[in-house]
Structure 1
Amino acid sequence: MSGTTLPTPAVRRSQNPSGTPGGATPGPGADGRGSRASAPVRRSSLGKRLGPYGYLAPVIALMLVLMILPVAVVIRYSFFDNVIISPTSIVVGLKNYVTILTDPAFHTATKNTLVFTGVSVAAHLVIGLGFAMLLNSTLIGNRTKTVFRTIFVMPWLLTVAIIAILWRLLLDPNGVVNYGLQSVGLIDGPVAWFSELNLALPAVTVMNIWAGYPFFMISLLAGLQGISTDLYEAAAVDGASWWGRFVHVTLPSLRPVIISMALLDVIWTSQQFPLIWMTTGGGPLDRTEMLSTYTYKLAFSEYQFAQAAASAVIMLVIALVLAVLYVRHQRARD
């Protein structure tokens, strides 16, 4: 017994590297636990990646059903003829677009839309900036500012239907506007503002200006309140007049807000439909015909749905161009 050499622990471990008795192979409790534990980890990481899409799924579904599919259907209709009213549709390619672009009524609607949009946006900017500077002035007390702010914002609180009815009553031949103008001797008799050929477009433009300037006013007022008073004090020290401070301090500081608001207002005003339809309906004749009312009449008065679809696609392209300009400006601003 004394001559027998027993193996050392290191030798025993080398002969049985698994550490199990008798050199048995490792069971599922060793490596098996690691493989089973990795599966929940993979499922957890996959769930984290798909989680945000799950939250966005309802919005994506709504956009798909309410926006993308209708737009796709309208684009498809613009390349066909006899859509909706006939069981068989004929592919005509770009014929509907050629018909729309060569239609004199489309040219008139485009011209009226440009005039209506350009004058409205410019007036919104001027009136909104003027009222915003008035509300931001230190020469008026806080109570007076509160009263003015309530009065100036009032048009924005009214619905389109109420605005249309209100202005129809005001500009009625027997309305308040005619009575006041006759009282001061500016007109000799009642004027049908929405029926006169040369007055209908200015009338609806004034109505749209009154309804839309509060949005500019509130946005520009927020921009004015964000301008540091140190800039005005430095300009005053340099001897700048009120006009000089306005040109060299106020306008450059408000430039990003003005450009953003102008682009948004162009998009909204060029697609204005309810105010026009509920006051003049595009008349008299075609003096207040806009692209929106022109497209609507093609579809639901003349039942030319394919041509109406082509007109709608043209309006969509114009809106997309303006939207791209707006997004690019916002990115450059950021």
Structure 2
Amino acid sequence: MNSAKLDHAPPPAVAAPETRAAPRGRARRLWARGTAPYAFLSPTMILIFVLMIIPIAMVVSYSFKDNVIVQQNSVFVGFANYTKVLTDPDFLAALKNTFVFITVSTVAHLILGLGFALMLNTPLLGNVTKAIFRIIYILPWLFTVAVIAVIWRLMLDPSGVVNYLLTTLGGSSVDWLSDPGKALWALTFINIWAGFPFFMISILAGLQGIPGDLYEAASVDGASPIRQFWNVTIPQLRPVLISMAVLDLIWTSQQFALIWMTTGGGPLNVTEMLSTYTYKQAFSSYEFATASAAAVIVLLLTMVLAVFYVRLQKER
């Protein structure tokens, strides 16, 4: 009897393979979901590390050594290269020229960009007229730096178009890019002409994003167009204007190609900028350690503006 019961007893319960595999599969999916973003970001992070982090680290290390690259055995010299750069009259002149260049360019970009954006946003002009003006005003932004440099060098040549118009109107010919008293201002004008369309388009987009109800409410309260401009337009555009100004300060401080292809930093260093000074130290004088120190100083100055811009964006 007992043997019969044993023969017909059910086999012991065994966990199904799917039940055991379920926690493992869930863990793999969670692991894949957690690591997938890093897998997508890894190519970009590798490129940033190879093309930016490593070169910056190398330049910083070069700035603390004697003349590197051209010498086989470099030694640590501490802050001697920074002292040499900061006491160099050419560097101080380049710093002053860069300050004037970026300050005047940024202010002019804001004023011109705002003025042309207001004109293109006004209802007094038809759509066809606005389209034509937009095409004309955007042209300087479409040209490459090389084309802009060549065009303006030809126009500002002593026998160029600008001097021809001056002599035709009874004036005298001017060496715009060769006169020490005019070269920096001529170069600044070229940079302003080349850069204001970007400000115009950005500010125009900001103007078109201002709700019309604000102007209607201001008009009902009896505000004049000038009051509406200062109390409605400017406050609404303030984030755009500040962001564009900080970005322009960063971009203009790094301007090199336009300066090098028009004046090369001359005459008599009146258009020498931090970018051209660093380039000449490295590839004209072969003072790579000094050039590295100058590049680190420029990097620190730019980082101050970059930190300000990032904090501004976070506050917005």
Instruction: State the TM bucket, normalised to the shorter chain.
Output: over 0.9
Structure 1 residue 121: Cα displacement = 0.2
The residue type equivalent to 1:146 in the other structure is: A
Structure 1 residue 37: Cα displacement = 3.0
Q: Distance in 2 between matches of 1:146 and 1:24?
A: 86
Q: Which residue is equivalent to 2:207?
A: 224
Cα deviations by residue, 1:225-255 (Å, 9 ceiling, x for unpaired): 1112222222222222221111111111110
CA 1:32–1:183 in 2, change beyond 3 Å: closer, same or farther?
same
Q: Distance in 2 between matches of 1:144 and 1:23?
A: 92
SS at match of 1:90: coil
The residue type equivalent to 1:44 in the other structure is: R
SS at match of 1:80: coil
Structure 1 residue 51: Cα displacement = 0.7
The residue type equivalent to 2:215 in the other structure is: Y
The residue type equivalent to 2:157 in the other structure is: D
Q: Distance in 2 between matches of 1:113 and 1:21?
A: 97
SS at match of 2:175: coil
Q: Distance in 2 between matches of 1:195 and 1:121?
A: 24
Are residues 1:241 and 2:241 paired?
A: no
Cα deviations by residue, 1:194-219 (Å, 9 ceiling, x for unpaired): 10010100000000000000010000
Cα deviations by residue, 1:21-74 (Å, 9 ceiling, x for unpaired): 759765xx4176543332222122111111111111111111111111111111
Query: What TM-score, normalized by structure 2, do the two folds share?
Result: 0.95
Q: Which of 29, 44, 55 is residue 44 of structure 1 equivalent to? A: 29
Does the aligned pair in 2 maintain the 1:194–1:203 contact within 8 Å?
Answer: yes
- Which stretch has the larger CA shift, 257-266 or 57-66? 57-66
Q: Distance in 2 between matches of 1:51 and 1:21?
A: 53
Q: Which residue is equivalent to 2:277?
A: 294
- Larger Rg computed on CA atoms: 1
Does the aligned pair in 2 maintain the 1:193–1:199 contact within 8 Å?
Answer: yes
Q: Distance in 1 between matches of 2:181 and 2:220?
A: 51
The residue type equivalent to 2:26 in the other structure is: V
Q: Which residue is equivalent to 1:85?
A: 70
Q: Which residue is equivalent to 1:198?
A: 181
Q: Which residue is equivalent to 1:102?
A: 87
Q: Which residue is equivalent to 1:60?
A: 45
Q: Distance in 2 between matches of 1:271 and 1:63?
A: 19
Q: Distance in 1 between matches of 2:8 and 2:117?
A: 88
Query: What TM-score, normalized by structure 1, do the two folds share?
Result: 0.90
Q: Which residue is equivalent to 2:196?
A: 213
Count of residue correspondences: 314
Q: Which residue is equivalent to 1:162?
A: 147
Cα deviations by residue, 1:111-145 (Å, 9 ceiling, x for unpaired): 00000000000000000000000000011111110
Where does 1:1-334 land on structure 2 (aligned, <5 Å)?
Answer: 26=13, 29-30=14-15, 34-185=19-170, 187-188=171-172, 190-333=173-316
Question: 4+ runs of 1 displaced by more than 4 Å?
Answer: 20-26
Cα deviations by residue, 1:148-173 (Å, 9 ceiling, x for unpaired): 00000000000000000000011010
CA RMSD of aligned residues (A): 1.9
Q: Distance in 2 between matches of 1:248 and 1:44?
A: 55
Structure 1 residue 287: Cα displacement = 0.1
**Structure 2 unaligned regions, length at least 5:** none
Q: Distance in 2 between matches of 1:114 and 1:306?
A: 24
**Structure 1 unaligned regions, length at least 5:** 1-5, 7-11
Does the aligned pair in 2 maintain the 1:263–1:322 contact within 8 Å?
Answer: yes
